[in-house]
Amino acid sequence: MVSRNNNSISFALGLTGGILGFMSLVFTCIGVALPTWYIGTSADQTVIITKANLFSSCYAPYTSQGIISSTLNCGSYNSYSCSTTSYQNSVLNITSYSPGCTNPNSEASIYLDFDAPIYQVSMTNYYNLRSAVILSIISILFTLFSTIFGFLTGLILLNIYLVFIAPIFACIALIFGICTLVIAGSVLNYTGVGFILFVVGILLESISLVLLSIVAGRLNSVEAKNHTNDNEPMFIERDDTSPDIQHEYTNRI
């Protein structure tokens, strides 16, 4: 077993790593929930007319007077209608159709040419968004687990093998978080606050990973040193059966 009673540095590093892990958990959860990974503005860049994140998209419909409404209509990607000819692509005035998904609200078609899944999204990008959602949830869960074990490592008595759980979980959370950004980046053009908060959470988790790894290494070193000292005999018994000792004894006689 490992004791932190006489190791204030490990206690401080473990506690700091746990606090940073908790902050990372808060930032990533808020970042994923906000619908502002992508933000589209009007031509004069004064009004936000579209938003999108990993789960849904929002748009400002035109009113009967032909002006943009200040209220955004939002819908989940799960409500999109998918088919083999839903995605419209125009190149050199030639329109082609490919597998994809479209917003069920026809009024969103005015945002057909936006570089975000506001009205339509290709099937590949649709599955990329679904994959990014799964990866982000896994990252948040492992961030939670690493935070819990980070506090436990710094505060209470744990078996020596359990001190490595916190940095391992933090490493897994970091990997899945980075994969989330990479995959979602193939669909969304990051411009919003939600993306920034998620990135801040990933950076905090990387710092937590370093601190928790240092704590695990220090505690393992202390345990190995204590184990060596416990196994070292206090007195060394003389071995009179050694041939050299017997030869010396014969010469003296």
Give the model confidence (pLDDT) of 135-159 as tens digits: 999 999 999 999 999 888 877 766 7
Question: Residues 133, 220: one domain?
Answer: yes
Question: Residues 143, 26: one domain?
Answer: yes
pLDDT in the model for residue 115 = 77
Question: Residues 158, 189: one domain?
Answer: yes
pLDDT band at 180 (very low <50, low <70, confident <90, very high): very high
Question: Residues 161, 201: one domain?
Answer: yes
Of the ranges 19-28, 47-56, 190-199, 222-231, which is most confident? 19-28
- Residue 141 is assigned to a structural domain of this protein: yes
Q: How many structural domains compose the chain?
A: 2
| pTM reported for the whole predicted model | 0.79
Q: What is the mean pLDDT of residues 70-84?
A: 85
Where do we find the tokens 């940095």? 167
pLDDT in the model for residue 156 = 76
Question: Residues 53, 79: one domain?
Answer: yes
pLDDT in the model for residue 217 = 85
**Res. 249: pLDDT tops 50:** no
Question: Residues 66, 90: one domain?
Answer: yes
Residue (of 97, 109, 101) closest to 129 by Cα position: 101
Query: Are 231 and 223 in contact, with CB atoms under 8 Å apart?
Result: no
Question: Residues 153, 184: one domain?
Answer: yes
Query: Are 180 and 132 in contact, with CB atoms under 8 Å apart?
Result: yes
Question: Residues 65, 28: one domain?
Answer: no
Residue (of 77, 97, 76, 75) closest to 87 by Cα position: 97
The CA-based dihedral angle spanning residues 194, 195, 201, 205, taken in that order and rounded to the nearest 10 degrees: 160
Q: Cα 171–172–178 angle (5° rounding)? A: 90
Question: Residues 115, 204: one domain?
Answer: no
Query: Are 139 and 28 in contact, with CB atoms under 8 Å apart?
Result: yes
Domain containing 143: what range?
A: 8-34+127-225
